Amino acid sequence: MPIELDGEKIDSTYRLVIAVIKRAKELHHGALPKISTRARKVTTAALEEAVSGALQVLTGEAAVKAEKAAGKLTYDKMMDEAQQKASMPESRTELEEELETFLRQKKKVDS
């Protein structure tokens, strides 16, 4: 797919590739597209978003700050999930309960 870069939004092909990779991962994990596209592949959709200007590509100090903030958010989310999991009693599924009942009955029959 031939593309033309807007030098003011994305300053290099390398930065374009990195932005498209990160956006393709987001799309793969369920993020909604920012523009309407007929692309079937997430990489193509991400590339179309980047070229159209729908993505904000950060550079320099702004990119470093954003990366640190994203890392902190991920860490905080993981810690929150761990605390919730520790505070909630582990609930057994219906299947697990039925399996345990079956195994107890089988043990009685085998004895």
pLDDT tens across the length of the chain (111 residues):
566 666 666 778 888 888 899 999 999 999 999 999 888 999 999 999 988 888 888 878 888 888 888 888 888 888 888 887 777 666 677 888 888 888 888 888 877
Residue 3 in domain: no
Domains: count for the chain = 1
Residue 91 in domain: yes
Cα 51 to the center of its chain, rounded Å: 21
Instruction: Centre a 10 Å sphere on the Cβ of residue 25 and count the other Cβ atoms it contains.
Output: 13
Alpha helices (runs of H) in 7-41, residue ranges in sequence order: 13-28
Q: Global pTM? A: 0.56
Terminal-residue alpha carbon distance, the chain: 70
Which structural domain range is residue 87 located in? Answer: 13-110
Residue 56 in domain: yes
Residue 104 in domain: yes
